[in-house]
Amino acid sequence: MAVLIYIGSMRSLMERTFRGINRNIVAISLVSLLNDISSEMVYPVIPIFLVAVLNAPVTIVGLIEGIAESTANLLRIFSGYFSDRSGKRKPFMTGGYALSALSKLIIASASGWTSVMAGRFLDRFGKGVRTAARDALLAGTSQERYRGRVFGFHRALDTMGAVVGPLIAFFLLKAFEDNLRFIFYLAFIPAAAGVVLLLVFVRDIKRATGPGGQLPWRLRDMRLNKGFKVFLLASTIFALGNSSDAFIILRAHNLGFAVGTTILAYALFNIVYAVLSHPAGIISDRVGQKKVLLWGFALFALIYLLLGIVEMPAVLWVLFPMYGVYMALTEGIGKAYISLHAKDEFTGTIYGIYQTLTGITALPASLTAGFLWRYVSPGAPFIFGGAMALAALMIFGLVREDSTEKA
């Protein structure tokens, strides 16, 4: 009897936890899982590959990450707009994930940093094509009251790939004597599997595209409310100080972490991120997305300021997990917050606006970080990033929203 009661209570708990998560959301999330396994097999190794193997200066790392993120992110507003106009999300997702898979082969065959930049650009180009459409499909497939947990669930599976990927890379490094190129080639396999899964199991949804299939290009025609505008401003300022995570990896290396140790710390960050993303989404549905986002901004500021001043490598074992908590409090929650401020026919476009404006700041953010690292100190980029996060926190926290009506 006790066993039956336990089983019944566990079933009830699972139903409450995963309420609102349908098959399409699971399929989309599994595609993200496979793609992230591939990307995270490569990403934590690229900065070290550039500096230690290709002999590129740290400023080049900032240049590559900045150009890749910013240039590709310009696409997001266009992909979001055209996915709204066509009423279809899946073609944009398929093309984007396919380009990211191809990028792994380009990086694997690189003989200089320019080839790595081309590969990173293609990878981010693919992300720019798919992301707004994917987020709009997640929003369109889910009920509004469950948006926080839906985006949290997707983020949890996506981030689980970021746990598995670095661990695979770590064991491959040990087994194949630091053969970085071999890792890049193998990373193509899960990325290609994700594209196949997308083609077979993810379904598009029929949706309205507005009168005559036409959508406005002018922001004022979309009637964006104050809540979204304030969040957009705060997020853009925040992004100016949020340089590529490659600098966190380099900071760990700078403080004495070996390549394998850095990968393990990065995996730990992603474990925390993956475990907490779905619970954070559930909490945000209860207390409000804005409150959870403010917690995340504050935690980021603390982490970056500590990264700027610490000199003891052991502290990184605390800061990497804390960074995972910050990501869980912001990534999926921010998208859920936007979905509550966007009318259905403009969802892809508004995601594109947000992702483009915050994304194009990646170039000045990473270039600034590279400059501060080289000409001031390795800790300077993080002090700057912490200060920008505090500014964003004040703007987002102190400005009152005069309406919760959708944009």
Give first-to-last CA distance, the chain, whole Å: 53
Instruction: Report how far residue 348's alpha carbon sits from residue 134's, in angstroms, rounded to the nearest whole number.
Output: 9
Instruction: Report how far residue 50's alpha carbon sits from residue 113's, in angstroms, rounded to the nearest whole number.
Output: 7
Give the pLDDT score at 2.
47
What is the tens place of the pLDDT at every residue in 199-257? 999 998 766 454 444 545 555 555 666 777 888 899 999 999 998 888 998 999 899 98
More confident residue, 14 or 348: 348
Q: What are the tokens at 197?
A: 């899964």
What is the tens place of the pLDDT at every residue in 149-170? 888 888 889 878 878 988 898 8
Instruction: Report how far residue 161's alpha carbon sits from residue 155's, in angstroms, rounded to the nearest whole number.
Output: 10
Give the pLDDT score at 223.
62
Instruction: Report how far residue 101's alpha carbon sits from residue 82's, in angstroms, rounded to the nearest whole number.
Output: 23
Length of the chain in terms of residues written? 407
**Percent over 70 (pLDDT), the chain:** 86
Q: Helices 259-287 and 316-339 sit at what angle, rounded to 10 degrees?
A: 40
Nearest CA to 375 among 62, 51, 43?
A: 62
Mean pLDDT along residues 13-36: 81
Mean pLDDT along residues 273-291: 88
Asked which of 213-217, 272-276, 293-297, 318-322 is least confident by mean pLDDT, the reply is 213-217
**Percent over 90 (pLDDT), the chain:** 35
Q: What are the tokens at 381?
A: 């980029």
Give the pLDDT score at 96.
94
Residue 301, CB-side half-sphere exposure with 13 Å CA sphere = 16
Is the confidence at residue 282, as pLDDT, over 70?
A: yes
Give the pLDDT score at 186.
93
Give the pLDDT score at 212.
45
What is the tens place of the pLDDT at every residue in 382-401? 999 999 999 999 999 886 65
Burial of 226 (0-12, 13-18, 19+ CB in 10 A): middle
More confident residue, 342 or 146: 146
Q: What is the pTM of this model?
A: 0.70
What is the tens place of the pLDDT at every residue in 73-90? 777 777 777 887 777 889
More confident residue, 319 or 160: 319
Q: What are the tokens at 317?
A: 């074992």
CB 18 within 8 A of CB 157: no
User: What is the rounded average pLDDT for all residues in the chain?
Assistant: 83
Domains and CATH numbers, the chain: 21-398 (1.20.1250.20)
Mean pLDDT along residues 357-371: 84
Q: In sequence order, which residues have a C-beta less than 8 Å from that of residue 75 and are 6 or more positions away?
A: 125, 128, 129, 356
Element of type H or E holding 19: none
Burial profile 377-396: b = 16 or more Cβ within 10 angstroms, e = fewer: ebbbbbbbbbebbbbbbebb
CB 245 within 8 A of CB 137: no
